A and B are shown apart, each in its own frame.
Chain A
Amino acid sequence: MNYLRLNINSREIKVKPGTTVLQAAQASGTYIPTLCADPDLKPHGGCRLCIVEVKGMRNMPTACTTIVSEDMVVNTETEAVHKERRSVIDLIIADHPMDCLTCIKNQRCELQDVAAYLGITERNLPRTIKQKPIDDSNPFFTFNHNYCILCQRCTRTCDEITGVNAIEIINRGYNSKVSTFGDKPLMESICKSCGECVARCPVAALVAKNSIMPTSKIETTCPYCGVGCMMELGIRNGKIVSVEGSRSSQANNGRLCVKGRYGIADFVQHPERLVQPLLRKSNTLIETSWEEALNIVAQKLSAYSGDQIAVIASAKCTNEDNYIVQKFARSVLGTNNIDHCARL
């Protein structure tokens, strides 16, 4: 593999051919503000915040769309660059609600991060914002157009990641907005509710309903279909409060579908969960202790010979559960009558 050398803020860096200036900077620990770039999406160049100065190039190119060439000299922190970045953020802030303290994305908002980085402390332009509608039709997430900064991460996700193309920009100029075919609510569109767009929204435009901040996260594997998506369950006060796709697994590369993203907590923490062993007495199932239940099972099963017993294991259970149960069937019950719904 041959490498290209470039210089970012007087630091020498080596990158693979095809790397963008933004990727090169991020890899070397240099922060460049951006609102539309996403590692999973093609370079967009819409927010204009990642503009940099490149020696020998006229104008200020966007780092996300500029491919590194040999001996490129990049400066990400000049006054000219900062001035233009600030004027871009000024424009966005003038068109964005100023209710940060009560906003659901407070402290997780990328617009806040960028504004803070650029040292924006006040609104410098007259307000342009007008009241825009809120699409509340989807049971899992809300689309509040008032917060939308039109970075198009959502529409690009729906195109490049999921291939569903349920949403796109409609109208022009200041009236441009993200919407569905025929400007219908999301629930009346072809949206599959996978939430990949929600996961990528930098502000509070697309947010999961009932979302609260977890205090810890734990990585595990989705229990629905056979794709084996890894996910991070967000935990707060002993309960699952959020689900995110985990980027560490090559099975899903961070992506999830509607069931994995929104269909976990409700069933795991469902009030109808079995919480106590049950025993059939006079034809009704009544609660009993583990001790009694296990003893009865052990005692009853001991009464049959191997060919009188069958075990149905589960494709929902773990490998360890299954290994134990087939070992139990074969070595304790003395039967190969073990199967599971592999075929269904």
Chain B
Amino acid sequence: MAGLATTFGSGAMTNSNNDLLGANCIFSIGSNTTETHPVIGFNIKKATRSGAKLIIANPRHIELVRYADIWLQHTPGSDVALLMAMMKIILKEGLHDNSFIMQRCENFKPFKQSLDDFDLTTAETITGVPLGQIVEAARMYAQNGPSAILYAMGITQHSHGTDNVIAIANLAMLTGNIGKPGSGVNPLRGQNNVQGACDMGSLPNVCSGYQKISEPSIKQKFNVAWGINLPTEEGLSITEMIDSILQGRIKALYLIGENPILSDPDAGHVRKALSTIEFFVAQDIFINESVELAHVVLPGTSFAEKDGTFTNTERRVQRVRKAIDPIGYSRPDWLITCQIAQRMGAKGFDFEQPSQIMDEIAKVTPSYGGISYKRLDKGGLQWPCPDLKHPGTSILHTQQFTRGKGRFMPLRYKPPAELPDKDYPMMLTTGRNLFQFHTGTMSRKVAGLNSFKGEEEVEIHPKDAERLFLNNGDKVKVISRRGEITARIKISEASSPGVIFMTFHFAESPTNILTNPALDPISKIPELKVCSVKISKI
């Protein structure tokens, strides 16, 4: 997100779900779309049926490879090298969009310089992809416009995730694939309302609508709107919070609807923090590995028992409606927070219903300025939607970039923080399965889904299995520098030799005990997609 904010001025998906159907070429990198965003997966397949080219860059043989024209099986963590090579080829062959670069972008020279310093044979070595294939992919993307890029956590969850995103943004600008139907840079958001939670300012550096607290005018605006004095110091990200708890600086935690012990890297570390903190209040719909450590647990309601809105990956704000009464004595999350605030003597938390909250959001958030429940009852609205007459925005950056000019950023390839070595010779990469979701808090309560995927499986290449004398279904220990877990293996040719794959849905085999908390310096996203492990048979 930070990468797109730097280059375009806005970190969200530039185009829309249905807009993919108008693409002549789709380049999907670091996204296993049919498993993680199945309905968008339908659109990709539909687009290929009507003739769109499909390029898949993924270390694993994912389902979409079946539909792809080109599959680039690059080494985990080598995305920047792959993308830089593509850009170098595009420039070399003159396939770039010169007028777009001239009219709509800036800082092209230093960027071009960074490519000049980059060598294509090195790219082949780093990515493990034959140069011929990279050339073919570069041509296909550049020559079949409009071309859309899709990416997901396979791009961002790296210690150099921001670089990955910038490289993608550079590629799109280089070929003029921004701001028009069927093109764009489209990060697929993992959770139902990640986009909304970010939009609302559940982030340490911005208030709602990405209004920077460091900016005096913004601070002033909120001081007036909320009748308080906004703290100016930027806050901590989750991973930093955990460290800070262990260092004794943070003493109290209010956790809502999350399970960091399963979802965050280096889970042992997280568990230690949550067990030792002075005061820990958790608000959730189920007891989970994190919640069970809390001092006070507050029962929230599920989406089905409350009114509200979610903002999906394409910036579309849509209604959530109360379908049934709250289960037991559970209460909607906004109400609980308001009730705590009121008990702490605060003003401005006396809302009777969520529509009033949305009215306040609209008032203080320019991109949500035109959104109201009344309008949403006629259908979702895509932000920016600055006023009540505005129809919403399905494609960003059509006339100019949010930040004015698109900014090319020079890049240099950096390897993952941890690479296989003598002691930990294999690479672990993580992802999701269609039949489970995230830490399984919801999906593992569904018996039918469990019958499809009920336990962790360590996906391992037959060559590695043979070398380690492993048979399908054998129980193994997977060990990293941070911890170890046990799970059964599944022999599969989906990944290349030396690379194993696991999900993080299962508390019994908590994969994130193994992963590396090394953060991207800008986005603070941990490197969940690459770490080094070894395997031993039990």
Contact = CB atoms under 8 A, between A and B. Distances in A.
Interface of A: 139-140, 160-163, 192-194, 218-230, 233, 235, 238-240, 248-253, 255-259, 262-264, 266-270, 272-280, 285, 290, 293-298, 300-304, 306-344
B190 A226 contact: yes
User: 4 nearest interchain CB pairs?
Assistant: A275-B328, A228-B312, A318-B308, A163-B45
A314 B257 contact: yes
Contacts of B384: none
Contact of A248 (B205, B297, B343, B379): B379
Contacts, number: 478
- Most chain A CB within 10 A, of B255, B327, B333, is at B333
B281 to A, nearest CB: 5
Nearest to A309: B252
Nearest to B318: A221
B507 interface: no
Nearest to A229: B39
A317 B264 contact: no
A299 to B, nearest CB: 8
Nearest to A276: B329
A331 to B, nearest CB: 4
A327 to B, nearest CB: 7
30 contacts: A218-B321, A221-B309, A221-B312, A223-B302, A226-B313, A233-B323, A235-B323, A239-B324, A258-B452, A272-B445, A277-B296, A301-B252, A304-B252, A310-B254, A315-B192, A316-B193, A317-B308, A319-B311, A320-B334, A321-B308, A326-B207, A328-B346, A330-B213, A336-B205, A338-B201, A340-B194, A341-B191, A341-B194, A341-B258, A343-B524
A220 B320 contact: yes
Given A140-B448, A250-B18, A259-B437, A219 B37 contact: no
Contacts of A257: 38-39, 434
Given A224-B437, A279-B296, A323 B200 contact: yes
Contacts of A230: 318, 380
A228 B374 CA distance: 19
A221 to B, nearest CB: 5
A342 B380 contact: no
Contact of B314 (A251, A294, A317): A251
Interface SS, A side: mixed
A311 B199 CA distance: 17
Contacts of A308: 249-252
B250 A340 contact: no
Contacts of A272: 286-287, 445
Contacts of B70: none
A273 B286 contact: yes
Given A251-B318, A258-B434, A337-B204, A318 B235 contact: no
B67 interface: yes
A315 B435 contact: no
Nearest to B528: A344
B437 A344 contact: no
B447 A273 contact: no
B415 to A, nearest CB: 20
Contacts of A251: 17, 39, 312, 314, 316, 318, 380
Given A313-B202, A336-B233, A268 B337 contact: no
Contacts of A229: 39
Nearest to A250: B18
B337 A226 contact: no
Interface in B394-418: none
A151 to B, nearest CB: 21
B176 interface: no
Given A272-B286, A274-B285, A328-B341, A316 B191 contact: yes
Given A228-B312, A308-B252, A332-B346, 13 more contacts: A256-B39, A266-B448, A268-B302, A297-B254, A308-B251, A312-B256, A319-B361, A325-B337, A331-B348, A332-B344, A336-B205, A339-B241, A342-B202
Interface in B272-331: 279, 281, 284-287, 292, 294-300, 302-306, 308-314, 316-325, 327-331
B125 to A, nearest CB: 30
Interface string B442-458: 11011111011000000
Nearest to A326: B201
A324 B338 contact: yes
A112 to B, nearest CB: 29
Interface string B23-56: 0000000000010111111100110110000000
Contact of A318 (B18, B193, B313, B452): B193
Interface stretch (B114-122, B224-232, B469-477, B495-503): B224-232
A333 B154 CA distance: 35
B202 A226 contact: no
Nearest to A252: B39
Contacts of A267: 302, 441-443, 445-446
Interface stretch (B136-144, B352-360, B459-467): B352-360
A41 to B, nearest CB: 12
A209 to B, nearest CB: 8
A335 B205 CA distance: 11
Contacts of B256: 311-314, 317, 321, 325
B226 to A, nearest CB: 5
B250 A337 contact: yes
A274 B327 CA distance: 8
Contacts of A140: 448
B434 A192 contact: yes
B314 to A, nearest CB: 7
Contacts of A321: 256, 308, 332-334, 337
Contacts of B528: 344
A161 B281 contact: no
A266 B445 contact: yes
B219 to A, nearest CB: 10
A317 to B, nearest CB: 5
A227 B196 contact: no
